[in-house]
Amino acid sequence: MEDEGNLARAANPVMALNAEDRMLAAALRGAVHELRATTATAMFPLEDGRALANVVVVGDPLSIFTVADRHPVDDDRYAGAVAYRTGRQCVRFRTRTPSGVRPAMPFPYAIIATPLVDDEGRSFGVIVLVWADPVGWTATSARMGHRCQNLADELTHALLLRGGPPPRRSRPGPPRFVLAPPAGEDAPLESVSLSLVYQIGRLAAELSQAPDLRDVLVTATTRIMEPFGARCLAVSVIDDGRPRLLSHSGVGPALAARLTGASTGTLEEETITGARPPPDRPLFFEAVDTDEPISAYCLLPLTIEDRDTGTLALGFDHRHTFSAPERAALTTVAQLLAQSISRARQFETQRRLAQELQQGLLPHALPHHEEVDVAARYVTATTGTIGGDWYDVVDLPDGALGLIVGDVEGHTPRAATLMGQIRSAIRAYAAEGHRPADVLTRTNRLLSDLGTDLFATCCCVWLDAEAEAVEISSAGHPAPLLGRPGRPFATPPGPPQGVPLGVRPDTTYDSVRMPLRPETVLVLYTDGLVRSRAVPLDAGIEALHACLAEPGEPRLEVLTDRLLDITGTGDRRDDDAVVLIAQFLGLGADRRQRVARTFVQRHDLRAVADVRRFLRARARSWDWEAVSSDLELAVTELVTNGLVHADSEVEVRLREYADRLRVDVRDSDPRPPLPAPVLASGETDRESEHGRGLLIVDALAASWGNSPSGRGKSVWFELTRP
């Protein structure tokens, strides 16, 4: 019998609890036994007071599916949060899942959450009991609630006798799952296997929802390093046959890189020429003698279809014995992580290809005129799909400016290909001198001749500065908005939008011509700017109008970025979006803005001196000599960065406003620049040198930023007149 007990313990290892957790486990175990509950858990607040963390869980194996690490304190969906916040018991009974809800427990259940309240009436914790598939609950709920209150009072009294309520947790460690103690032992023990299964399940669930590589690596840090008690985590991948450090936490990059390659049980620098291949099997080093703050570590191969794609390394600041269940769990964890990293990297490759394809179809650069200021943005969806949105700005034969925005249906390579064909056709017809309605009519016939089953919407606006007028024609596209700064914007009166291109080959489009007052702003956009899964179309249109009507002189580059926030923030977007803004400044000498520009060919660093002479001449003729030295220094840094890092020609544009001078330095590299501080160690690299130039610009300019510009980017800054 003794041998059978040892075998049972080996199959399901247990771990002793500390004094406080033993007290909690004993109380919860008694509640589960007496009230025949499925699960009982004790929850206590985190240090910031905004969430409750599950500390000890008692119940059968089903309990790992009925609890989460933490609950927000202010979320009324959780009975424990309500009980803690109000200081009153919360009872819930659900016979079926409401429509549209993705439940944690997809079966009938009952919950009683009872707060632990100190002598001053403040909640310092909660005990929560869960019954799965309760029978006769209505008749016994009052008795159950009364008994849970008594148990909570008894537990509160016992905890306070120990010297006060338990301290708040600085971070939510994993819940500790407790089973009934083995025969002959009174102390409750943690089921290590159950706790590990819980961690694997939570990791798998969160990795499946991580949309990109960054989120995958953040999930790995929180769901692997902390629950397994590791001091540090490092992930390396194999690129071109060599290991590359992908992510690290808890140690610096140098030690992290050494850790992922330390397959011999030592963290000393490798002396063998060439990179050591990643381990082809899990390696566990339970005690290592080193000067580094790591006393034990493990290396877990990231394997996909029997192919090693990298290494997951965990380091511990104490000697660590890896039990059989822990080794099995860590191996499973590495397999889950390998699949998620592979999926995320493949997704990012697809997204990058989609962006490069669509960026290549955008105009190389926007025209530069004294009478019209123009800004544009094109952003892709974060799904990695290829869309059909586009914009173009064309200098027309009669001196007018053509503003064009369109959208091909679908998010496929075929949609992007058709978009390129339509854009080229419209640009060609516009260059022949056709009016906007004729351009759309001819493009519609061409689209029908191509035999495609896709359709496209498009809006063409011809802005004639000399005549101070615009001519607008639309093929099923949202109408542009016109207005003046600080006033409401509206769609212009005129003919209907018309049917999209490609619907009927014999469609003839109409246009409307209207006068244009100085300072008028025109806004063209695609529907991705105002509609997403989270933002209904009406709400997006309302937000667009509210943003445009804000008082103050608009800086077009800033305004375009603000409009993009209506349906997306950062790199989170449901759909592609285009916004094209033009402000007609007028023809009078007091209204038009002086502009100038110069170009530098690729790799021609000697031409930087020519740029400085160009700037000095403009500063002298425009009466900006007071800031000439700042202007030269900032532009020199940006031009040099563009030549060295972007591997393209560089264009410098100047535009004078009444109170400021704006400078745009444009290149063909779409990657945004990032300021980088000077390293204390004196180390240098390409990125830090690039970042120092931006720090200089930041110190000299009144404002600065960077934005997409056609197929590349523009780094801009402004100097105010002294």
Tens of pLDDT, residues 509-559:
999 999 999 889 999 999 888 888 888 889 989 999 999 988 777 788 888
User: Poorest-confidence range of 319-333, 557-571, 611-625?
Assistant: 557-571
Higher pLDDT, 29 or 706: 29
Categorize the per-residue pLDDT at 172 as very low, low, confident or very high, splitting at 50, 70 and 90. Answer: low
Categorize the per-residue pLDDT at 1 as very low, low, confident or very high, splitting at 50, 70 and 90. Answer: very low
Q: What is the mean pLDDT of the chain?
A: 81
Q: According to the model, what pLDDT value does residue 2 have?
A: 38
Cβ atoms within 10 Å, residue 362: 20
Q: What CATH class does 595-720 carry? A: alpha beta
Q: How large is the average pLDDT for residues 352-358? A: 69
Token look-up 């018991």 returns 89
Q: Are 592 and 370 in contact (CB under 8 A)?
A: yes
Residue 570 DSSP one-character state: T
Q: Looking at the domain 361-584, which fold is it?
A: Phosphatase 2c; domain 1 (3.60.40)
Interatomic CA distance for residues 653 and 537, integer angstroms: 37
Q: According to the model, what pLDDT value does residue 9 have?
A: 37
Task: With CA atoms as reference, report the closest residue to 277 among 313, 315, 311.
Answer: 311
Higher pLDDT, 14 or 545: 545
Q: Are 10 and 152 in contact (CB under 8 A)?
A: no
Q: How large is the average pLDDT for residues 639-659? A: 83
Per-residue b/e over 288-323, b at no fewer than 16 CB within 10 Å? beeebebbbbbbbbbbeeeebbbbbbbbbeeebebe
pLDDT digits over 456-473, tens only? 999 999 999 888 999 999
Q: According to the model, what pLDDT value does residue 687 have?
A: 41
Q: Can 2-190 and 210-355 be said to share one CATH topology?
A: yes
Distance from the first to the final alpha carbon of the chain? 93
Residue 85, pLDDT above cutoff 90: yes
Q: How large is the average pLDDT for residues 637-649? A: 80
Q: Is 128 exposed, middle or buried (0-12, 13-18, 19+ CB in 10 A)?
A: buried
Residue 272, pLDDT above cutoff 50: no
User: Poorest-confidence range of 252-266, 432-446, 609-623?
Assistant: 252-266
Interatomic CA distance for residues 568 and 383, integer angstroms: 13
Q: Are 596 and 637 in contact (CB under 8 A)?
A: no
What are the domain boundaries of the chain?
2-190, 210-355, 361-584, 595-720
Residue 115, pLDDT above cutoff 90: yes
Interatomic CA distance for residues 689 and 712, integer angstroms: 20
Higher pLDDT, 267 or 559: 559
Residue 365, pLDDT above cutoff 70: yes
Q: Is 717 exposed, middle or buried (0-12, 13-18, 19+ CB in 10 A)?
A: buried
Q: What CATH class does 210-355 carry? A: alpha beta
Query: Phi first, then psi: what are they for 421, rounded to 5°?
Result: -65, -45
Residue 10, pLDDT above cutoff 50: no
Q: How large is the average pLDDT for residues 567-591? A: 78
Enumerate the β-bridge partners of residue 469: 464, 515
User: Poorest-confidence range of 103-107, 130-134, 226-230, 409-413?
Assistant: 103-107
Cβ atoms within 10 Å, residue 688: 14
Q: According to the model, what pLDDT value does residue 354 have?
A: 67
Q: How large is the average pLDDT for residues 135-164? A: 85
Cβ atoms within 10 Å, residue 36: 11
Residues near 275 by beta carbon (within 8 Å), at least 6 away in sequence: 242, 243, 261
Q: Which helix (H) or strand (E) holds 141?
A: helix 137-161
Provide, for the chain, the percentages of residues in helix, strand and coil under a 3-state DSSP scheme, each rounded to the nearest 5: 35, 25, 40
pLDDT digits over 87-106, tens only? 999 998 887 655 544 456 66
Enumerate the β-bridge partners of residue 471: 462, 513
CA distances (Å), origin 645, targets 11, 71, 563: 59, 47, 30
Higher pLDDT, 672 or 539: 539
Q: How large is the average pLDDT for residues 705-714? A: 72
User: Poorest-confidence range of 59-63, 313-317, 370-374?
Assistant: 59-63
Categorize the per-residue pLDDT at 16 as very low, low, confident or very high, splitting at 50, 70 and 90. Answer: low
Cβ atoms within 10 Å, residue 603: 12
CA distances (Å), origin 230, targets 233, 314, 327, 526: 7, 6, 14, 49
Residue 400, pLDDT above cutoff 70: yes
CATH 3.30.565.10 applies to domain 2-190:
no
Q: Are 494 and 512 in contact (CB under 8 A)?
A: yes
Residue 140: both structure tokens together: 């016994």
Dihedral angle computed from the Cα positions of residues 657, 621, 664 and 428, in that order, rounded to the nearest 10 degrees: 90
Q: According to the model, what pLDDT value does residue 688 have?
A: 42
- Reduced to 3 states (helix: H, G, I; strand: E, B; else coil), residue 176 is strand
Q: Are 376 and 560 in contact (CB under 8 A)?
A: yes
CA distances (Å), origin 19, targets 16, 23, 165, 166, 191: 9, 6, 14, 12, 17
Interatomic CA distance for residues 31 and 29, integer angstroms: 5
Residue 352, pLDDT above cutoff 90: no
Categorize the per-residue pLDDT at 685 as very low, low, confident or very high, splitting at 50, 70 and 90. Answer: very low
Q: According to the model, what pLDDT value does residue 403 have?
A: 95
Categorize the per-residue pLDDT at 616 as very low, low, confident or very high, splitting at 50, 70 and 90. Answer: very high
Interatomic CA distance for residues 340 and 240, integer angstroms: 20
Q: Are 527 and 407 in contact (CB under 8 A)?
A: yes
Q: According to the model, what pLDDT value does residue 363 have?
A: 76
Q: Which helix (H) or strand (E) holds 213?
A: helix 213-220
